[in-house]
Amino acid sequence: MAESSGEKRSELRAYGLGERPSQGLMFVVSAPSGAGKTSLCTKLMERVAGLARSISFTTRPLRSVEEDGLDYHFITPEEFRERIIRGEMAEWAEVHGALYGTGLSALEKERSEGKDVLLAIDTQGAQRVKERFGQEVVTIFLFPPSMEILERRLREREADPEGEIRRRMAEAEREMRQWSHYDYVVVNDDFDEALEKLQAIILAERCRTSRLK
């Protein structure tokens, strides 16, 4: 049985080590489309206790394999812009011609309950979250095994026309050049191994002495 955050804080106090702050951390995972980010994050949620998943808002069309409110919150461009104006987005960016963003209220709610939050967002969003929340954010960039395998994965999804696949491949090259701005990099050449590395990063960050007070 997993220990509650309260039990863990009590143990730390017993050793005179202080305790983790009541506000949870944010773990940002970025990757090119087709690198396996969604599958890894879904599995990570099953394996790590005390981790909440941030569900992004987007204006892109709903795919046949997706569910509104589970994979994304699908809204119109007008609704999205209204949320920006009202200051309801922790971050937002335009990616592949559609708007994507993280809702601020849900993020703050999970963190105020002491949960760490997993955000699967693009490089633009990752930069904005890091600028806004600073040391409360841990960033991870996920690489595909190779560009050839990435292209094959995109084609196997049969979700995009040829022009869109080419655009996503060009965008992938741009995104991968941003890796040095991240705290960690993981190559998804083996799913289970990549999953283990992501889990290890989260557990290690939770144990940092700099996070105890």
pLDDT of 1 over the 50 cut: no
The beta strands (E) that lie in the chain are given as: 26-30, 51-53, 57-58, 73-74, 89-95, 98-103, 116-120, 137-143, 184-187
The HSE-up count of residue 75 (CA atoms within 13 Å, CB side) is 19
What pLDDT is attached to residue 15? 61
Q: What mean pLDDT do residues 11-34 have?
A: 77
Banded model confidence at residue 21, pLDDT cuts 50, 70, 90: low
- Ordered by where they begin, the domains of the chain are 19-208 (3.40.50.300)
Q: What is the rounded distance in angstroms from the CA atom of residue 189 to the CA atom of residue 48?
A: 21
Q: What is the pLDDT of residues 146-202, one digit of tens each?
A: 999 988 888 877 667 788 888 889 888 999 999 999 999 999 999 999 999 999 999
What pLDDT is attached to residue 23? 87
Q: What mean pLDDT do residues 113-140 have?
A: 95
